């Protein structure tokens, strides 16, 4: 993108896809916006018409709303922390020359190919089940009281399941970044007297900064809209203790048949997602240019 000509050319070439993407996004958005100002409940089709901000008022003052926002943030941040830290450790491990490297790598990546509903089911029935789960078996073998994960720690359980799904993604991206680190640089730092910890802090981590940024950005987009894991395991409960924003919108729309309210919730979710996105791009996106 050095000259004005290449810039103009680039714009012209990108225009079609950008226009399609824009239309693709704007039509549903405008429709949702329209519905969010309507009284529109499938249970009461006769009551309709403009209600302006009434739907928003009800959604935002619903005590579940604040809790859902809190849960959404805890979920996103929790999974990000686990996957980024765990991903770095896994990547460092996978980068070591070990026997059967190919198979180990394949195994590590496998969870990413399991669809969310299936992995949530597996976790619910095979790992966390208070009677038949492996966790219960482990604690029983050790003589400890069994934990009913999904009822006692619902949000933590959802975080664990989601993190398990996203860990391979993070590890994979970070591993490729790790492998692109110049061998000479590692050797130079070794000659400069850096031990493993210093090498990690001063050479490896800065080198991974960009990859970590990518992981955080991509994961955040998907983690803000986690749904299947909650639907299959806790149904947002007990109470609203594991309900995030998308699940709350679902409850509004499909359990309460309140299309207007759900649309208002959807709009709130969009606004919040954008706020998060702006912050993210400000904070971590700086790593991407250069």
Residue 258: what are its φ and ψ, rounded to 5°?
Answer: -100, 90
Q: How far is the CB of 81 from other proteins (least distance, A)?
A: 23
Site membership for other proteins, residue 114 (CB under 8 A)? no
Q: Which listed residue (187, 196, 255, 281) binds other proteins by CB under 8 A?
A: 187
23 near other proteins (CB under 8 A) = no
Interaction between residue 203 and other proteins (CB under 8 A): yes
Three-class SS of residue 21? helix
Contact of 241 with 233, CB cutoff 8 Å: no
Residue nearer to other proteins on the CB measure, 105 or 199: 199
Does 145 bind other proteins (CB under 8 A)? Our answer is no
Q: Is 235 helix (H, G, I), strand (E, B) or coil?
A: coil
The residue range among 45-53, 56-64, 106-114, 199-207 that interacts with other proteins, by the rule CB under 8 A, is 199-207
Give the nearer residue to other proteins in terms of CB position, either 6 or 198.
198
Identify the bridge partners of residue 39 per DSSP, sorted by sequence position. 49
Task: Decide: is 206 part of the binding site for other proteins (CB under 8 A).
Answer: yes
Region of 114 please: left (phi>0), alpha (psi -120 to 50) or beta: beta
Give the interface size with other proteins as a residue count (CB under 8 A): 18
Name which position in 182, 239, 255, 271 contacts other proteins (CB under 8 A). 182
209 binds other proteins (CB under 8 A): yes
Q: Does 285 bind other proteins (CB under 8 A)?
A: no
Please report whether residue 188 would count as binding other proteins according to CB under 8 A: yes
Does 184 contact other proteins by CB under 8 A? Answer: yes
Closest CA to 264 of 29, 27, 47, 32: 32
Nearer to other proteins, 28 or 206 (CB): 206
Question: In sequence order, what are the residues at sequence separation of 6 or more whose Cβ sits closer than 8 angstroms to the Cβ of residue 215?
Answer: 83, 84, 87, 169, 170, 173, 174
β pairing state of 38-40 and 48-50: antiparallel
Under the criterion CB under 8 A, does residue 97 sit at the interface with other proteins? no
The CB-of-183 to other proteins minimum distance in angstroms stands at 9
Q: Is 207 in the site for other proteins (CB under 8 A)?
A: yes
What are the distances in angstroms from CA 194 to CA 15, 76, 111, 191, 197? 49, 35, 36, 7, 8
Q: Look at residue 182 and give its three-state secondary structure.
A: coil
Q: Which residues bind other proteins (CB under 8 A)?
A: 182, 184-185, 187-195, 198, 202-203, 206-207, 209
């Amino acid at each position: 993108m050095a000259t004005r000509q290449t810039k103009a050319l680039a714009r012209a070439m990108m225009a079609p896809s950008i226009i399609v993407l824009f239309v693709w996004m704007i039509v549903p958005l405008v429709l949702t916006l329209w519905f969010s100002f309507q009284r529109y409940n499938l249970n009461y089709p006769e009551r309709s018409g403009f209600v302006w901000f009434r739907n928003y008022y009800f959604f935002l003052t619903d005590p579940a709303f604040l809790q859902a926002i809190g849960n959404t943030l805890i979920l996103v941040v929790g999974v990000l922390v686990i996957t980024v830290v765990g991903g770095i450790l896994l990547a460092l491990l996978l980068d070591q020359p070990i026997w059967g490297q190919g198979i180990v790598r394949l195994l590590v990546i496998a969870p990413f190919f399991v669809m969310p509903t299936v992995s949530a089911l597996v976790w619910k029935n095979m790992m966390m089940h208070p009677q038949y789960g492996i966790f219960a078996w482990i604690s029983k073998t050790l003589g400890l009281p069994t934990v009913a994960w999904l009822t006692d720690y619902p949000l933590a359980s959802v975080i664990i399941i989601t993190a398990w799904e996203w860990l391979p993604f993070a590890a994979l991206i970070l591993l490729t970044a790790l492998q692109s680190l110049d061998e000479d640089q590692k050797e130079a730092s070794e000659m400069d007297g850096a031990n493993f910890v210093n090498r990690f802090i001063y050479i490896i981590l800065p080198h991974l900064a960009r990859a970590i940024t990518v992981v955080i950005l991509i994961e955040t987009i998907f983690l803000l809209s986690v749904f299947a894991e909650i639907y299959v395991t806790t149904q947002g409960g007990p109470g609203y203790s594991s309900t995030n924003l998308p699940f709350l919108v679902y409850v509004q729309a499909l359990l309460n048949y309140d299309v207007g309210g759900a649309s208002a919730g959807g709009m709130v979710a969009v606004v919040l997602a954008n706020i998060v996105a702006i912050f993210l791009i400000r904070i971590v996106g700086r790593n991407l240019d250069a």
